[in-house]
Amino acid sequence: MESLAKQKIIEDLLPQKFGKAGKIWVVILLAFCTLGFVAYCMQLSKGLVVTAMRDYVSWGIYISNFVFFVAISLVGSLITAVLRLSQAKWSTPLTRIAEIIAVSAITFASIIIVVDMGRPDRFYNLFIHARLQSPIVWDVIVITTYFFVSILLLYFPLLPDMAILMKFKDKTGMAWLNKMYAFLGSFWKNTKAQIHISEKAVNILSITIIPVAFAIHTVTSWLFATTYRPGWDSTNFGAYFISGAFLVGAGAVVVAMYVFRKAYHLEKYIQNEHFDKMGKVLVMLALLYLYFNVNEFLVPAFKMKKSEEEHLMGLFTGEFAPVFWFAISTAMIIPILILITKRGRKPLPAFIAGLLVVIGSWFKRYLIVTPTLLHPFLPMHDVPEAYKHYFPTWQEWAIALGSLAGALLIVTLFARIFPIIPIQETITEIEEHEMSITKI
Amino acid sequence: MLVSESRALGTKINKRHMKKHSKIFLSAILLQLLVNAVFAQAEKNSLSLSVGYFNSNNQTQYLIARAKSKIDGKFQMIPGISVSFYISTETPENLLGKAVTNDKGEALIFMPPKAKDEWMKSAKVGFLVSSASTKLFDEAKGSFDLTKAKILIDTAADKKITATVMELKDSVWTPVKAVDVKIAIKRLDADLNVADAPTYATDSLGIASADFKRDSLPGDAKGNLTLIAKVEDNDLYGNLSAEKVVPWGKSFKYYSEFDKRTLFARRGKSPMWLELLAYSIVVAVWGVLIYLVGQIKKLKKLGVN
């Protein structure tokens, strides 16, 4: 590969300073984070009474948000591990986007759990009084594990790029950034031995992350399924959650692909072909999730047990029907209809479909968590009327939106500091491609 | 014209008649309602009171009064009725005690020691119960004439159970023929028949026999079972019962899961298989992660060299 072309790739993919739009975007995200922080301070000082959560609904939008974050984090394993192990070379430009989404999502999944606990100073109780029999403890273990696996999977492929960043330190323009690059990857000399160790490590991580990723969302589903309640009492929950997680994660990647492509002019690297392939992946995942949804709702609806009737009818035609049908349509049906055609898999329609998947999936998580809590098998006597309904307070909305903004801020800042598309891997792949053409 | 006039006249007359009749009709309804209201206030349900005699294991004697009333065509047990119990005659000196009926309409008293003299007077003794008139019920009375009797239980070889019923005749205990006796095993909430037949009739010697055919029945820790012979709701003798403990059961040891290693136990008491499984997975995965962190160190070394 000619050094001129190599130079061009490096220049294209080096992290760039924020433009005007980038700065506005960061300010908006910071504003949401600040609002969330203020609301959290209020919750800290007054207690969980500032939320709408009461004796019936004790898991509101915080836990919906937690499930959403855990779901979206699964994308790291999908793009990085599954596609890498299946030798799908086309996914290379998407791996880092997927991994940073995974890391930011899992970080905020952990934070939102602490928010939901009410008193963060009691967090240590979770460890000193942990019962190994409890799925909550399994969740703590598996989230911590997944976080470290994701960090390592982000770090190893970043090492060769770190050497490039140090080489072009005058372009980054900030001394502290260069110091950080040096701290993280000054030892990378791109030797054969180093490349071999790094590739081996990435392969091991790709294999490790798949069962861990399955475990993280299966365990999250068991938080619900091991509880005997209408809507949660299901053996289908593990597979139902995992299929939904892959769908929302893939949707988030498509959205991020489009935004980064537009913001950093990466059309040469994130091509229409990537949208086409990710579009197909999305259709497959949406169909799979739709299948699990049919199972999840049709079977109990067919039996319509008295205890489940109120919950199911609440979703189909009752209080939650607008949200339910909105979530089913936006997370699955409309994206399938958009992406099923080749024209629909062009960047803009694919972006819209991805966005719909993400929005619909958030509401889907809300529907999994909250309506069930409003219909216990053994209702309490003489509870205040307000306990029988749930609508989040502004503090809850602010904290939930703040956490979503925080996750987006991590992704945004990461893209400012590190190359969002692996530089060295892209160069190597192009070189390998050119060599194979020369051989022919 | 004439026809129409006569019709109009007819309608007028009809209306006048209707007005007159409707006044009478309304007055009748009002009167009926008034009468109903007055009578409804005065009307009381009749109460049926009965009394039963019980002798448990020839030791504890007690009486149970039952209060019931026919309401809406059905007999219902009446709670909250104060019942006075008497022996022989309904006089203050023969008052055994008072009790109030429970939710099942039953009031129970144990025979007090003061009843001994009256009890010893004769081989036959009468019990009376009465309740005073209340807002809802009339006063009621009931009685039971008891012929003193007793029941004995014994066992023989080959797990044969015999129950003997005797009545007091002229100060002598005499066997009674043709009395139905229930021979059973006492369980927690009910009695379990020792064989297929639930009851056995006494012969001329007053003996009813049954074979014990309940092998491997769980008993207490030593395998003991309690046999019971009962005469139930007999018109002459009331309710009699006698018990005997026999080692014919299977030894049963209660095994408590409390504080054992189970899925529902407290912290630190999780099942061994779960601990092994969970810790092996954690060690395996974190072993891999630690190995990979070691690889970063190796990369650093290679870079420095």
Q: Please identify which residue in the block is written with the tokens 């939320």.
A: A51
**Beta bridge pairs of residue B225:** B246
pLDDT digits (tens, 9 = 90+) for A255-305: 999 999 999 999 999 999 999 999 999 999 999 999 999 999 999 999 999
Q: What pairing do the DSSP bridges indicate for beta strands B74-77 and B60-71?
A: antiparallel
Task: Kindly determine whether residue A194 and residue B285, on different chains, have CB atoms separated by under 8 Å.
Answer: no
Q: Rounded to an integer, what distance in angstroms lies between the CA atom of residue A71 and that of residue B118? A: 85
Phi, psi dihedrals of residue B181, rounded to the nearest 5°? -120, 135
Q: What is the mean pLDDT of residues A199-213?
A: 93
Q: Rounded to an integer, what distance in angstroms lies between the CA atom of residue A197 and that of residue B169? A: 107
pLDDT digits (tens, 9 = 90+) for A126-176: 888 889 999 889 999 999 999 999 999 999 999 999 989 988 877 766 788
Give residue B3's pLDDT: 44
Quick one: DSSP state of residue B45? Answer: B
Count of CB atoms within 10 A of residue A250's CB?
28
Residue A12 identity: D
Token output for B234: 């007999």
Give residue B1's pLDDT: 40
Q: Which residues in B lie closer than 8 A to residue A152 (C-beta atoms)?
A: 289, 292-293
Q: Is B274 on the interface with A (CB under 8 A)?
A: yes
Per DSSP (E only), the strands in A136-271 are: none
Q: What share of chain B is helix, strand, coil (3-state, %, to 5)?
A: 30, 40, 30
Closest CA to A258 of A243, A283, A279: A279
Q: Which residues in A lie closer than 8 A to residue B289 (C-beta atoms)?
A: 145, 148-149, 152, 208
Give residue A39's pLDDT: 97
Phi, psi dihedrals of residue B230, rounded to the nearest 5°? -135, 140
Q: Which residues in A lie closer than 8 A to residue B292 (C-beta atoms)?
A: 152, 156, 201, 204-205
Q: Searching chain A, which residue's CA lies closest to the CA of residue B291?
A: A201
Q: Which residues in A lie closer than 8 A to residue B285 (C-beta atoms)?
A: 145, 208, 212
Q: What share of chain A is helix, strand, coil (3-state, %, to 5)?
A: 80, 0, 20
Q: Residue B214 in contact with residue B184, Cβ under 8 Å?
A: no
Q: What is the mean pLDDT of residues B26-37?
A: 67
Token output for A387: 């306990």
Q: Which helix (DSSP H) or strand (DSSP E) does residue A365 occupy?
A: helix A347-373
Q: How far A239 CA sits from the closest chain B CA (Å)?
A: 21
Count of CB atoms within 10 A of residue A297's CB?
16
Q: Quick check: B106 pLDDT over 70? A: yes
Nearest CB partner across the interface for B274, out of A133, A145, A208: A133
Q: Nearest 10 degrees: CA dihedral of A400, A405, A406, A410?
A: 150
Give residue A428's pLDDT: 87
Q: Residue A240 in contact with residue A221, Cβ under 8 Å?
A: yes
Residue B244 identity: K
Q: Residue B211 in contact with residue B160, Cβ under 8 Å?
A: yes
What DSSP string runs through B107-164? EEEEPPGGGHHHHHT-SEEEEEEEE---SSB--EEEEEEEEPEEEEEEEEGGGEEEEE
The SS3 of residue B50 is strand
Q: How far A386 CA sits from the closest chain B CA (Å)?
A: 33
Task: Kindly determine whether residue A131 and residue B302, on different chains, have CB atoms separated by under 8 Å.
Answer: no
Q: Rounded to an integer, what distance in angstroms lies between the CA atom of residue A311 and that of residue A305? A: 10
Q: Which of A238-247, B6-15, B24-33, B124-133 is the least confident region? A: B6-15
Mean pLDDT, rounded, of chain A: 92
Model ipTM value = 0.89
Q: Which residues in B lie closer than 8 A to residue A157 (C-beta atoms)?
A: none
Q: Which residues in A lie closer than 8 A to residue B267 (C-beta atoms)?
A: 129-132
Q: Residue A40 in contact with residue A426, Cβ under 8 Å?
A: no
Q: Is B292 on the interface with A (CB under 8 A)?
A: yes
Q: What pairing do the DSSP bridges indicate for beta strands B47-56 and B238-246?
A: parallel
Q: Residue A30 in contact with residue A386, Cβ under 8 Å?
A: no
Per DSSP (E only), the strands in chain B are: 47-56, 60-71, 74-77, 82-87, 95-100, 106-110, 124-131, 140-147, 149-156, 160-169, 172-175, 180-186, 191-193, 199-201, 207-211, 225-234, 238-246
Give residue A6's pLDDT: 82
pLDDT digits (tens, 9 = 90+) for A21-71: 999 999 999 999 999 999 999 999 999 999 999 999 999 999 999 999 999
Distance of CA A241 to the CA centre of its chain: 13
pLDDT digits (tens, 9 = 90+) for B291-302: 999 999 999 999
Q: Quick check: B39 pLDDT over 60? A: no
Give residue B230's pLDDT: 95
Q: Is B288 on the interface with A (CB under 8 A)?
A: yes
Q: Is A222 on the interface with B (CB under 8 A)?
A: no
Count of CB atoms within 10 A of residue B281's CB?
17
Q: Rounded to an integer, what distance in angstroms lies between the CA atom of residue B136 and that of residue B262? A: 56
Q: Residue A10 in contact with residue A164, Cβ under 8 Å?
A: yes
Q: Residue B70 in contact with residue B84, Cβ under 8 Å?
A: no
Closest CA to A247 of A207, A292, A208: A292
Q: Rounded to an integer, what distance in angstroms lies between the CA atom of residue A48 and that of residue A28? A: 27
Overall size of chain A counted in residues: 440
Q: How confident is the model at residue B286 (pLDDT cuts 50, 70, 90)?
A: very high
Q: Is A163 on the interface with B (CB under 8 A)?
A: no
Q: Rounded to an integer, what distance in angstroms lies between the CA atom of residue A397 and that of residue A392? A: 6
Token output for A169: 């330190």
Residue B241 identity: S
Q: Rounded to an integer, what distance in angstroms lies between the CA atom of residue B45 and that of residue B63? A: 25
Task: Kindly determine whether residue B292 and residue A152, on different chains, have CB atoms separated by under 8 Å.
Answer: yes
Q: How confident is the model at residue A406 (pLDDT cuts 50, 70, 90)?
A: very high
Token output for A337: 């209809």
Q: Rounded to an integer, what distance in angstroms lies between the CA atom of residue B16 and that of residue A57? A: 69
Mean pLDDT, rounded, of chain B: 88
Q: Where are the domains of chain A?
A: 19-225+394-424, 227-376
Q: Quick check: A1 pLDDT over 60? A: no
Token output for B209: 């026999």
pLDDT digits (tens, 9 = 90+) for B173-212: 999 999 999 999 999 889 999 998 989 999 999 999 999 9
Q: Quick check: B4 pLDDT over 70? A: no
Task: Kindly determine whether residue B263 and residue A149, on different chains, have CB atoms separated by under 8 Å.
Answer: no
Task: Kindly determine whether residue A187 and residue B270, on different chains, have CB atoms separated by under 8 Å.
Answer: no
**Beta bridge pairs of residue B184:** B193, B228
Q: Quick check: A355 pLDDT over 70? A: yes
Q: What is the mean pLDDT of residues B3-15?
A: 52
The SS3 of residue B250 is strand
Q: Rounded to an integer, what distance in angstroms lies between the CA atom of residue B80 and that of residue B96? A: 19
Q: Rounded to an integer, what distance in angstroms lies between the CA atom of residue A259 and that of residue A22? A: 11
Task: Kindly determine whether residue B299 and residue A186, on different chains, have CB atoms separated by under 8 Å.
Answer: no
Token output for A438: 């020369």
Q: Quick check: A2 pLDDT over 80? A: no
Instruction: Give the list of residues 6+ apart from residue A418 with CB closer than 8 angstroms, or none.
Output: A15, A96, A158, A161, A165
Closest CA to A52 of A345, A392, A324, A366: A392
Q: Please identify which residue in the block is written with the tokens 């492929």.
A: A157
Task: Kindly determine whether residue A133 and residue B270, on different chains, have CB atoms separated by under 8 Å.
Answer: yes
Among B285, B293, B297, which would you mutate to test the A interface (most chain A Cβ atoms within 10 Å of its Cβ)?
B285
Q: Nearest 10 degrees: CA dihedral of B10, B12, B13, B17?
A: 130
Closest CA to A246 of A219, A277, A296, A283: A283
Q: What sign does the dihedral B96-B100-B105-B108 (CA atoms) show? A: negative
Integer Rg of chain B from CA:
38
Task: Kindly determine whether residue A194 and residue B302, on different chains, have CB atoms separated by under 8 Å.
Answer: yes
Q: Which domains, from first to last, does chain B contain?
A: 47-147 (2.60.40.10), 149-246 (2.60.40)
Give residue B184's pLDDT: 96
Q: What sign does the dihedral A82-A86-A91-A96 (CA atoms) show? A: positive
Give residue A173's pLDDT: 67
Quick one: DSSP state of residue A218? Answer: H
Quick one: DSSP state of residue B218? Answer: B
Q: Residue A51 in contact with residue A392, Cβ under 8 Å?
A: yes
Nearest CB partner across the interface for B267, out of A130, A193, A212: A130
Among A129, A131, A133, which would you mutate to test the B interface (most chain B Cβ atoms within 10 Å of its Cβ)?
A133
Give residue B42's pLDDT: 54
Say what percent of chain A tops pLDDT 70: 98
Q: What is the mean pLDDT of residues B83-101?
A: 95
Among B297, B299, B300, which would you mutate to test the A interface (most chain A Cβ atoms within 10 Å of its Cβ)?
B299
Give residue B67's pLDDT: 96
Q: How confident is the model at residue A221 (pLDDT cuts 50, 70, 90)?
A: very high
Q: Which residues in A lie closer than 8 A to residue B302 (C-beta atoms)?
A: 187, 189, 191, 193-194, 197
